[in-house]
Amino acid sequence: EAGVTQFPSHSVIEKGQTVTLRCDPISGHDNLYWYRRVMGKEIKFLLHFVKESKQDESGMPNNRFLAERTGGTYSTLKVQPAELEDSGVYFCASSRPGVGALYEQYFGPGTRLTVT
Amino acid sequence: LAKTTQPISMDSYEGQEVNITCSHNNIATNDYITWYQQFPSQGPRFIIQGYKTKVTNEVASLFIPADRKSSTLSLPRVSLSDTAVYYCLVGAYNQGGKLIFGQGTELSVKP
């Protein structure tokens, strides 16, 4: 089966611009997660979708970040306007429906975002 | 969620067995122990998960003592391709899905 895919692999934007990251989960995976790693820090949870509903968005840093998952398939994460501290690697992960917290999550390769 | 502590880095040579120990003194009754592996420029990848005693799969073994306050990931006969960061995570099935990553252990395998 195809894995989790993310687009773009790398994005370089200027401070104040908008960027939209996309994640395509594994087909049939109802759970979709966003994480990010900023420079020198640990991987941090951003939010969790179950199908099209936001189950947990406690990790979203501020209202400049907007995540959507229309139709319960792919998801987008928009950063508007981008700030320098948003630079990092953004990972998407998915897992099968009906499982709990630490069942296997499948990660994409990540999108490296650089804000200049 | 239980906090985990693991060595920041480890070095090994090809063909050796590598054991990475993780401390999780505050592990709760419902918590499971999970290990992920991350290669450079890739997302983390699930390796193994256990609750108690020993779990083995084609990649690794996980040893968990009776008090469950620590666990050891064992990689048999490592190769250069096992060079990666290894994360120990602890949490319960009913805690809403998010993974809490620590700093991980950067394993370097030398020829």
Which residues in chain B are contacts of A5 at CB distance < 8 A?
none
d(CA B109, nearest CA chain A) in Å: 22
Beta-sheet strand order (sheet of B70-75)? B18-23, B70-75, B61-64, B53-56
Which residues in chain A are contacts of B49 at CB distance < 8 A?
102-104
Which among A30, A102, A103 is the top mutation candidate for probing chain B, defined by the most B β-carbons within 10 Å of its own β-carbon?
A: A102
Task: Count contacts between A and B (CB, < 8 Å).
Answer: 78
Residue with tokens 């998915």: A94
Tell which wins on pLDDT, B96 or A43.
A43
Structure tokens given for B105: 């252990």
d(CA B95, nearest CA chain A) in Å: 5
Q: Write down the pLDDT at residue B94.
A: 59
Q: Write down the pLDDT at residue B2.
A: 64
Per-residue model confidence as pLDDT tens digits over B18-57:
999 999 999 999 889 999 999 998 999 999 999 998 999 9
Q: Which of B76, B4, B7, B5 is nearest to B47 (CA)?
A: B76
Are the beta carbons of B73 and B10 closer than 8 angstroms?
no
Residue with tokens 């890739």: B42
Q: Which of B42, B43, B97 sits opposite A56 (nearest CB)?
A: B97
Q: Write down the pLDDT at residue A102.
A: 53
- Cβ–Cβ gap B93/A100 under 8 Å: yes
Count Cβ atoms below 10 Å from residue A58 Cβ, excluding itself: 11
State how beta strands B53-56 and B45-50 pair. unpaired
In angstroms, the CA A13 to CA B65 distance is 49
Which residues in chain B are contacts of A59 at CB distance < 8 A?
98
Per-residue model confidence as pLDDT tens digits over A5-64:
999 999 999 999 999 999 999 999 999 999 999 988 999 999 999 999 999 999 999 999
Handedness of CA B90, B57, B38, B76 (dihedral sign): positive
d(CA A63, nearest CA chain B) in Å: 20
Count Cβ atoms below 10 Å from residue B77 Cβ, excluding itself: 10
Cα–Cα distances (Å) from B7 to A42, A47, B10, B11, B60, in that order, read 14, 28, 7, 11, 18
Angle at A78 between CA A77 and CA A80, to 5 degrees: 155
* Size of chain B, expressed as the number of residues it contains: 111
Q: Which residues of B touch A (CB under 8 A)?
A: 32, 34, 41-46, 49, 87, 89, 91-104
Per-residue model confidence as pLDDT tens digits over A48-106:
999 999 999 999 999 999 999 988 899 999 999 999 999 999 999 999 876 554 578 99
- 58-77 of A, contacting B, C-beta below 8 A: 58-59
